[in-house]
Structure 1
Amino acid sequence: MPTNEKQQSSQLVRGFEPYKETKGEEYMGKPMRAHFTELLNKWKQELMVSVDQTVDHMKDEAANFPDPADRASQEEEFALELRNRDRERKLIKKIDKTLQLIQDNEYGWCENCGIEIGVRRLEARPTADLCIDCKTLAEIKEKQVGKA
């Protein structure tokens, strides 16, 4: 897999085609909502498979090493895997929230200002709930508060 694809696969669902809008199509009409529902469900499924693989890996690799350095290395590896799985668990919750927004016909509009988030932004970040302008402002405020 080329480096660029490898980097994108962590954020995007593998093998998923971008949405192709038709001329005059209503924003977040039924076909568009169906596309994002499918994309989010596939992404969620990939994350759940990853969680299952981690559990299996930890069961298979668990060993009681007599050497403290080996034991520490294994514990560090498991701790890293568990942190990653925790992030994925939180992402699965966010995906579920987003799927509910689609069902409620509230998906695709900025939570702050109410404008369209945009298909391309949602393709890049399907769980986005802010338009790019509001997200940029939120990040600037976050940086300012962080420096205080």
Structure 2
Amino acid sequence: MGRSGEARGRQATERATAQDDGGLDLQRYFPYRLARLAEQVSLAVAEVYAERFALTRQEWRVLAILGARAEIATKEIGPLTTLDKMQVSRAVQGLESRGIASRKHHPDDRRELIVSLTPAGRALYRKIVPFALARETELLAALTAEEVRVLDRVMHKLSAALS
């Protein structure tokens, strides 16, 4: 979208969110609508790991990050999962107490903890992934293939603009 397209997009958003009295129509306000949609999607996916595997949303996010690598420093998990430091700590503790993850001190900095999946955690990850991918497919089935591509481009574009 060129400059004129971006300007039209902003103008349309302004018209959609402004009320006659200069107030804000929350139901049409893009950040609110996006946050609501993200929550709806998150809850729909949570059915996969919460009911079948007794994981919290935070534990699932940490498990998903750990499943993609051999190990990771706990301080790196937050930015990758949108979890704060306390949520990461609780999720890691929960996974560790169930034998899904293990922690050790970083060899060069004893204050830093390194987390990895245990063999049981790797097996759980391999078991959950097909269910999570199937749920993603179900959610995206409401869109055409072109709409999925456009959505992906738009999400990348917005994310880049906010970085």
Pick 1 or 2: higher relative contact order, CA cutoff 8 A, min separation 6: 1
Q: Verify same fold: TM over 0.5.
A: no
Normalising by structure 2, report the TM-score: 0.23
Normalising by structure 1, report the TM-score: 0.25
Q: 1 or 2, which has the higher helix percentage?
A: 2
